[in-house]
Amino acid sequence: MYQLMIRQFLRTKTCQLGLILILALGLTGIVIGKQFLNDKEKRVAQTVEKQEEHIARNIKFHGDDLGLLLYYLKFSIVKAHNPLTGLSIGQDDLNPSIQQVKILTLEGQKYDMDLVNPTRLLYGNLDLSFILVYIFPLLIIAFTYNLLSEEEETGTWKMVRVTVKSQVKFLLMKLSLRLFLLVVLMSILYLIAAWVLGIAWEEAFFAFFIVGLLYQLFWFSLSFWITLLKRNSSFNAVVLLSFWLILVMLLPAVINNAITNKYPVPEALTTVIKQRDGYHQKWDTNKKETIEKFYKNYPQFAKYGYPPEEGFNWLWYYTMQHLGDEESRKESNSMRDKVLQRQKMSKQLAKFFPSMHSLLVFNDLAGSSLSNHIHFLQYISNFHENIRLFFYPKIFSQATTVEIDWEQFNPAFYEGRNQPVEWLKILVPLLAGILIFLVLSFLTYQTL
């Protein structure tokens, strides 16, 4: 009987068109992910090549004045390549993975973005995570909305009830057939993605697969419960599509709006204003007063004393630059904390909504989440601090450029946080959703 069901279902136009469409979309998502990674690798290679050229060119033109040279020099920080990002691009299409910073004020540099076509940003990227979260449930609905109602509407259900020992078992066989086909299709897409994107068979990749599988099981359990309500096909289709609209489109938008209103970020503007004012106002401030503030933060530089009030001095200039960041520090930290609070609250609420939860987990596993970018920005801040403290003594002591080994300044790579997969946190919300609809199905099956 199971073999007969398979043959009959595979002959249907719904099955054929659905599987072909999902396969085509999945392959397209993988290709887009590969193009994204290739573009990133190309830019990283160019960054490594151009940094050496950039330093050599500026030394040629400004090599007689170290302070002036470092005014122009930029140092590159690269977010390391992660093949899983090709499956779930997440925030990485918006936030740059390569930053170039000077030893000047940092706050005005941290949020520089790549030049990207705004239309492309509007439409987003069709990666595999999008296919799994948004498109696969629609195919599940198309495959299951008439699981029982079609039998009743065509008049074959009475005959089935007579010929089968268990009506529920018969429906589960039909459901498992559809589940089997989609799991096979999803597995094929994962295997192709692993080969095309060069993904290692590691824990994060297996977690990515299991989350995708459980997410599909959630929709199958929901569809099975609706089937057992014994309503007509039109009703089932409308209800299932309503669930899809609410869980996948409406509630995430409402939650995002609520979180944005709960944690507004006016500091995004005030940080820039404070940083700029903190720097520009120092031009009209007593030099000694400015440098004293700097020495309080870095007493090891107090030995360089105070420059004369008249005229220009690099010690005073770079002191002004640093104090611009210091005076915006409070707003900068507040903005970072609020963004992390948004991310934390999103994850907490997403536990009750499988679509949101799955997408956030995909982004976390791929290293393309918002919190990952915040940690990248913190790495940039630490890098900026270290590079400043390296050059300040040389600038203040009026060292020459020939005294510095410039070959050591290769692009710095941010490897991300090596955190183990938290299996309970990522699986329990999905398993709970599946269990809820299985219990509802069990309570409803007696009506058959």
CA distance 10 to 170: 18
Phi-psi region of 262 (alpha: psi -120 to 50; beta: other; left: phi over 0): alpha
3-state secondary structure at position 416: coil
By the 8 A CB rule, do 58 and 5 touch? no
- Overall pTM > 0.85: yes
How do the residues of the chain divide into helix, strand and coil, expressed in percent and rounded to 5? 75, 5, 20
pLDDT value of residue 359: 93
Q: 331 with 269: CB under 8 angstroms?
A: no
What one-letter code names the amino acid at 419? Q
Question: Would you state the pLDDT for residue 157?
Answer: 67
Number of other residues whose CB lies within 10 A of the CB of residue 183:
16
Q: Alpha helices, DSSP H only, in 285-369?
A: 287-297, 314-327, 329-350, 354-366
Q: What is the pLDDT of residue 245?
A: 95
261: burial class by Cβ within 10 Å (0-12, 13-18, 19+)?
A: exposed
Residues with Cβ within 8 Å of 126's Cβ and at least 6 positions away in sequence, in order, are 25, 28, 29, 32
pLDDT score for 115: 54
Token pair belonging to 297? 């933060």
Pairing of strands 412-414, 75-79: parallel
pLDDT in tens, the chain (448 residues): 667 777 777 788 888 999 999 999 999 999 999 999 998 889 888 888 888 899 999 998 888 889 999 999 999 999 888 899 999 988 887 788 888 899 988 877 777 666 555 555 555 678 899 999 999 999 999 999 888 777 776 667 667 666 767 777 878 888 888 999 999 999 999 999 999 999 989 899 999 999 999 999 999 999 999 988 888 889 999 999 999 999 999 999 999 899 888 887 765 556 666 666 655 566 667 788 888 888 998 999 998 888 887 778 888 888 888 887 887 777 778 888 888 888 889 999 999 999 999 999 999 999 888 888 888 989 999 999 999 999 999 999 888 888 888 888 888 998 877 778 889 999 999 999 999 999 998 888 776 5
Q: Is 189 within 8 Å of 27 (Cβ atoms)?
A: yes
Question: In the chain, where are the structural domains located?
Answer: 2-28+128-262+425-447
Cβ pair 201, 194 in contact under 8 A: yes
Q: What is the pLDDT of residue 386?
A: 93
Instruction: Extract long-range pairs of 161-166: CB within 8 Å, 24+ residues apart.
Output: none
Q: Three-class SS of residue 174?
A: helix
Tokens of 228: 């057992």
Q: How many CB atoms lie within 10 A of CB 174?
A: 21
User: Residue 425 belongs to what H/E stretch?
Assistant: helix 423-444
Contacts of 270 (CB under 8 A, 6+ apart): 328, 331
- Residue 17: the pLDDT is 93
Nearest to 22 by CA among 146, 179, 174, 140: 140
Give DSSP secondary structure letters for 295-319: HHH-GGGGGG----SSS--HHHHHH
Nearest alpha-carbon partner for 205 in 213, 248, 349:
213
**Which pLDDT score, from 0 to 100, does residue 448 have?**
57
Give yes or no for a contact between 422 and 210, defined as CB atoms under 8 angstroms apart: no
Q: Please give the Cα distance from 134 to 29 (Å, whole number).
A: 13
Distance CA 19, CA 15 (A): 6
